[in-house]
Amino acid sequence: MGGKQLGDYLRARREIVRPEDVGLPPGGRRRVPGLRREELALLAGISTDYYLRLEQGRDQNPSPQVLDALARVLQLDEPATAHLHALASPPRRNHNLAEPDHVSPEIRQLISTWWSQTPVIVLNRYMDVLASNALATAMSPIFLPGVNVIRAAFLDKELRSLYLNWDEMSVRAVAGLRALVGTELEDVRVVELVGELTTVSPEFQRLWVRHDVSPRAAGVAQLNHPGVGEMTLQYERFTIAGTHGQLIVVFHAEPGSPSAEKLAQLQAETTSSRLHR
């Protein structure tokens, strides 16, 4: 299936690049969006027939030089180019067996005793929440253990009122999911998750077919929390060594900022609520 994945990716990215982006004259009648196959092949220095075989999955062994030439024309950044190379030589795995995810006792202890004003969660490669501290769950119901954050992002309409930059974060989430699963698109859990979301969420489907890949380790979350109001938080993602794609995600506010004060207020309310249970 490696050839099909490669072909799907090339086709999706080709349809995003506009002729004027690569120095071709815009306009004219075009049956498809983006570049024509023959235009991409010409700019990459390969024959149209050879490119057609790549896009149709009939040639699964392009050279690194060909892949780099295609990446240049498609204007892929470094992570997307790496993904293109990976699709051309995907690892062999058993896609029928879901791998259990266990958070080590050491990581659980770390996040439970983390700084009191720091929301922290642990995600697996499918974006399931495996563990979280009390402040993270108080910040958002999406961070409760057992919740799949990307599923909730597209199916839970109430989250859109919580996240002020929901549109931006949804784009990042889909691109991040592709980065996490990499070439393992036949993994049974990936098939089930993507199948469900593409069926019930036109927004997810629109973003998924773009084939954006982004392993960004940092970003901004803008929240309108029902208890403390608007907060702007930075987040950082760290890969946990020795696991199959587990991540620690840490949220923090700029020291001394209004957001830091509101995060401290949320922490105090969370502590008080737990003490009075």
**How does strand 247-252 pair with strand 229-239?**
antiparallel
More confident residue, 115 or 98: 115
Q: How confident is the model at residue 96 (pLDDT cuts 50, 70, 90)?
A: very low
Q: 236-243 — which CB contacts under 8 Å span 24+ positions?
A: 240/107, 240/122, 243/101
Average pLDDT, the chain: 86
Query: What are the domain boundaries of the chain?
Result: 2-88, 105-275
Closest Cα to residue 251, out of 110, 119, 114, 117? 119
- Residue 95 predicted with pLDDT over 50: no
Report phi then psi at 126, rounded to 5.
-95, 0
Distances (CA, A) of 169 to 39, 155, 255: 33, 14, 23
Per-residue model confidence (pLDDT) at position 254: 93
pLDDT (average), residues 34-39: 90
Say if residues 46 and 66 touch (Cβ distance below 8 Å): yes
Tokens in use for 103? 């958070």
Its CATH class, for the domain covering 105-275, is: alpha beta
Summarised one tens digit per residue, pLDDT across range 205-261 is 999 999 998 877 788 999 999 999 999 999 999 988 888 888 999 999 999 999 999
- Residue 60 predicted with pLDDT over 80: no
- Domain 2-88 is found in CATH 3.90.1150.10: no
- Residue 92 predicted with pLDDT over 70: no
Q: Angle 64-73/78-88 helices, nearest 10 degrees?
A: 140
> What SS3 state is found at 119?
coil
Per-residue model confidence (pLDDT) at position 88: 86
